[in-house]
Amino acid sequence: MLKEEATEVIVSTFYRFFKNSKYKEIKDSLKEFCLENDIKGVIIMAEEGVNATISGSRCNLDKFFNYIKSSFDFEFSNIKESRIGCHPFNKIKVKTKREIVTLGMPEISGLDAGIHVKPEEWDGFISRDDVILIDTRNEYETVLGSFKGAVDPKTENFRDFPKWFEDNRSRFEGKKIAMCCTGGVRCEKSTAYLKSVGVQEVYHLEGGILNYLMKLGKKAKTWYGDCFVFDKRIAVDKTNKQVFNTKIYR
């Protein structure tokens, strides 16, 4: 995790698929803990796991992850963090839903996801002739930036993805399918969906675009533009710094 500096705020994005039998039980206490420790953002919980982006001081976020560890008896290992001058959220929201990312198919488990490709290996992997890349994000996100050569479904929301894939499946015959998304959670579900409909070789970027930019920064060879994020920053660039890109914002 990042080292704390005076007055700075850390934005922390994380998720995990697991059998979450406590999600309704701890909703209120989790929100109360965040309020008491000046932690803001969005936490989504469902029976299939947890998906969140929150912000706070280094000290308070460390308290939060210790609290989560005591509640669920495990630690989040795929945390993506960046520094910012102030909270990018107005308040804390703790929501319970049928899915932690809405594909519209709660029966599809992110635990059955495709094969992870590490950020350091990603540029070479998606440049192969036998690989085709699908950007699973929505059009208002991809318009700000993506990977060179990525297929853009131009969906309005993630729920549209299964129909789009079935309508376009013939385009991907004989290819290994790679997928990317912001933080990785949508790809866990989308690759699991592809496996459920018989796609044999499906891969996705470990930790998503945020992890790729965090690990590679300016050394990223196949990324262009900025990465849309779901808070007041609107987007981050290759150096993981906020950009106030106003080309599109819902």
Structural domains in the chain plus CATH codes: 9-96 (3.30.70.100), 110-243 (3.40.250.10)
Decide if 86 is catalytic: no
106 bridge partner residues? none
Look at residue 83 and tell me whether its pLDDT is greater than 90: no
Pairing of the two strands 9-17 and 80-84: antiparallel
Given the residues 34, 59, 180, 181, the one annotated as active site: 181
3-class DSSP state for residue 85?
Answer: coil
Least confidently predicted of 77-91, 123-137, 173-187:
77-91
Q: Is the pLDDT of residue 212 over 80?
A: yes
Average pLDDT over residues 114-126: 97
Q: How far is CA 194 from CA 75, 87, 128, 167, 179, in A?
A: 28, 37, 20, 13, 11
Q: Calculate what percentage of the chain has a pLDDT beyond 70.
A: 92
Round the average pLDDT of the chain to a whole number and report it. Answer: 90
Residue 89 structure tokens: 């959220």
**Strand, coil or helix: 36:** helix
Confidence of residue 241 (pLDDT cuts 50, 70, 90): low
129 CB neighbour count, 10 Å cutoff: 6
Query: What does pTM read for this prediction?
Result: 0.87
Q: Which residue in 158, 140, 148 sits closest to 246, CA to CA?
A: 140
Residues 155-163 have a mean pLDDT of 97
Three-state DSSP state, 212: helix
